[in-house]
Amino acid sequence: MQATWTHRTVLLNEAIAALQVNPDGHYIDATFGRGGHSRLLLSKLSALGRLTAFDKDLDAIAEAKTIVDPRFSIRHEGFMHLGQLPAASAAGVLMDLGVSSPQIDNPVRGFSFRQEGPLDMRMDTTRGQSVAEWLADASIESMAEVIRDYGEERFAGQIAKAIDRRRQERGPLGTTAELAEVVAGAVKTREPGKDPATRTFQALRIFINAELEELQQALEASLKVLQPGGRLVVISFHSLEDRIVKQFIATHSREVFDRRAPFAAPKAMKLNALGRTKPSEEEVASNPRSRSAVMRVAERTGVLE
């Protein structure tokens, strides 16, 4: 029997409420995942409404195909491609940046250090290098940089050297358990309750999927596709993502003056920042994976250039 893994959508009602859904509008679920947000959003739309979803994960695409609804379409590509949609065509863009529970819990995907599986971590398993392939040839310096910059890991240098020693003594790493063991031997102290491999696995996942670069591109694309008054809703799960979202909204929520032309009119702001939301105590208690989530909301102004 094939195993099944459940997923609980974080900030489900809050995110859809933040979109202020126009029943006749066109919406974009930029990260379909297992479809929790999409299904609730569809329930708010009229026969004239439309929902376009994006996802790189083949399992997510398979899940999306269970939604038989003429108002819904799914695109098998990353959300940086949402800029291919017509300009000012969307009443709202939703981005849930979390890794879904089925991705984490299925050992075959290689995201989890708690279960042994192939060291893969690709969101789209049809293209690109796996983590195992990258670690087989990466220099100590490159590994340390990735683990430090994307995992905010202070033992990045020691971990990179430990991986290199392991490669020389026993060959390339091939499983999540092997990597977790190497990291545990290199990380001597860790916060109570946190596995020593947490930051390293996060770093390698972010790097191998170019998650931060794609997020930046998707945010920029959202300015093009959102119509005036349209809402941008982004749920992030770690500080690196949230920092990018926060800075993006802040940058476009203020007038920009050109110091070289002090008497010229400033460039008008493209977004109105509408604040942030954290999961309730009840949600965190029932779904501990939601504890780090932060939702930021902004509204598109009428400035289209």
pLDDT digits (tens, 9 = 90+) for 10-39: 999 999 999 999 999 999 999 999 899 999
Q: What angle do CA 59, 64, 66 make, to 5 degrees?
A: 105
pLDDT at 99 (0 to 100):
78
Q: To the nearest 10°, report the CA torsion of 152, 156, 159, 163.
A: 100
Q: With pLDDT > 90 as the criterion, what percentage of the chain qualifies?
A: 77
**Higher pLDDT pick, 116 / 53:** 53
Please, which pLDDT band fits residue 116 given cuts at 50, 70 and 90?
confident
Please tell me the distance from the alpha carbon of residue 32 to that of residue 53, in angstroms, as a whole number: 6
Buried residues in 69-101 as b, exposed as e (16+ CB within 10 A)? eebbebbeebbbbbeebeebbbbbbbbbbbbbb
pLDDT at 115 (0 to 100):
79
**Could you read off the pLDDT of 237-273 as tens digits, one per residue?**
999 999 999 999 999 997 655 566 565 555 678 999 9
pLDDT at 303 (0 to 100):
77
Q: Please give the annotated binding residues, written as ranges.
A: 35-37, 55, 79, 96, 103
Task: Return the SS3 of 130.
Answer: coil
Mean pLDDT of 165-183: 95
Residue 4, pLDDT above cutoff 50: no
Residue 8, pLDDT above cutoff 90: no
pLDDT at 190 (0 to 100):
73
Q: Please give the annotated binding residues for S-adenosyl-L-methionine, written as ranges.
A: 35-37, 55, 79, 96, 103
Please state the pTM of the whole predicted model.
Answer: 0.89
